[in-house]
Amino acid sequence: MPPQLTVAVLGLGAMGLPMASRLAEQFTVRGYDINPERSALAAEQGVVQATSSREAATGADAVLLAVRNRAQLDEALYGDDGVAAVLSPGAVVILTSTVGIEAVRDVAGQLDTAGFHLVDAPISGGPARAGTGDLLIVVGATDEAFSAAQPILEHLASTLERMGPLPGDGQAMKTVNQLLCGVHIAAGAEALALAGQLGLDQEQVLRTLGAGAAASFMLGDRGPRMLQAHDDGGAEVRSRLDIFVKDMGIVSRAAQGVGLATPVAAAAEQLYLIGQAHGLAASDDSSVITVLTPKEN
């Protein structure tokens, strides 16, 4: 694709907005979100505002979807404002979300029947890295579809790995990734909760752990927010807890589908489910530590 290509970004949330802003540095980007405040923020960063998904996607070379789940994916493509009705011949749909292997294969088949390409390209790295082109993107796509989407993906990623030739291959890799991420957050919460109960200075503990073999990206990223989780107002929301309820559910179903036991992932999933039941669904996922050490009244 030439640099002057037009990309429609649908969904300008925590990840969609920085990705749209990053792409606007090099391409013509039209963005749409059901929240007009998000669209206005995108406009301040060089993204052309659209009044609907279909307006954004009409005539676009590529449509990048940053949705939360399968229901939102179906709505974005086939709902009242669904873009499948206005896609240009040969247009490529780039799905950056984690929705599960079977869901992607199902949607890819529908798009293929209509003459469109689906690039299965779930992302990892968080909003800050999305805005600087430092994401990990794992891809499942045919040769033709990958070639069409590659300039866009390369502008967003510092690590771009094509895992296989079919939509769903990217989701499979992201499922493995989310197993580790979900477990690491839960384990970090347990470690810092234990440190606090043992009377240690949790900030010192976090700093010390970061210098040794127990360090991990998730501990370093979520740890500081875990220490803020009991504050009034809680930690800044950068990744909602209910995202990991969804993702660990995807992990569980994938493992069950191949007959593989994942007891550590299952335990982590239960912690997120308990957090959701305690009203933490919209809180930052670091707030899962409060399930282990509830705030004293």
pLDDT > 80? residue 1: no
Instruction: Examine the residue annotation and report whether 174 is marked as an active-site residue of this protein.
Output: yes
158 Cβ neighbours under 8 A, 6+ residues apart: 129, 133, 134, 135, 136
Mean pLDDT of 126-131: 93
Out of 3.30.56.10, 1.10.1040.10, 3.10.450.50, 3.10.180.10, the CATH code matching 172-292 is: 1.10.1040.10
Residues 265-280: what's their mean pLDDT? 98
**CA torsion angle for 272, 103, 38, 27 (degrees, to 10)?**
130
CATH 1.10.1040.10 domain position(s) in the chain: 172-292
Per-chain mean pLDDT for the chain: 96
Over 60: is that where the pLDDT of 270 sits?
A: yes
pLDDT band at 175 (very low <50, low <70, confident <90, very high): very high
Domain with CATH 3.40.50.720 in the chain: 6-165
Radius of gyration (Cα) for the chain, nearest Å?
20
| Tokens describing residue 260 | 């593989």
What CA–CA distance (Å, rounded) separates 34 from 17? 13
Specify the pLDDT at position 3: 54
What integer is the mean pLDDT of 195-213? 98
Fold that domain 6-165 belongs to in CATH? Rossmann fold (3.40.50)
* Residue 4: predicted pLDDT: 84
Give me the catalytic one of 174, 222, 240, 246: 174
What value does the mean pLDDT take over residues 98-126? 95
Report whether 142 contacts 232 (CB < 8 A).
Answer: no
**What is the predicted pLDDT for the residue at 166?**
96
What is the per-residue pLDDT across 49-99, written as a single tens digit (0 to 9) for each? Answer: 999 999 999 999 999 999 999 999 999 999 999 999 999 988 999 999 999
Q: What is the mean pLDDT of residues 165-186?
A: 98
Phi, psi at residue 69, to the nearest 5°?
A: -155, -175
Burial class from Cβ neighbours inside 10 Å (0-12, 13-18, 19+) for residue 281 reads middle
More confident residue, 233 or 195: 195
Share of the chain above pLDDT 70, in %: 98
pTM of the model: 0.92
6-24 as b/e, with b when 16 or more CB fall inside 10 Å?
Answer: bbbbbbbbbbbbbbbbbbb
Task: Decide: 29 and 152 in contact? Cβ < 8 Å.
Answer: no
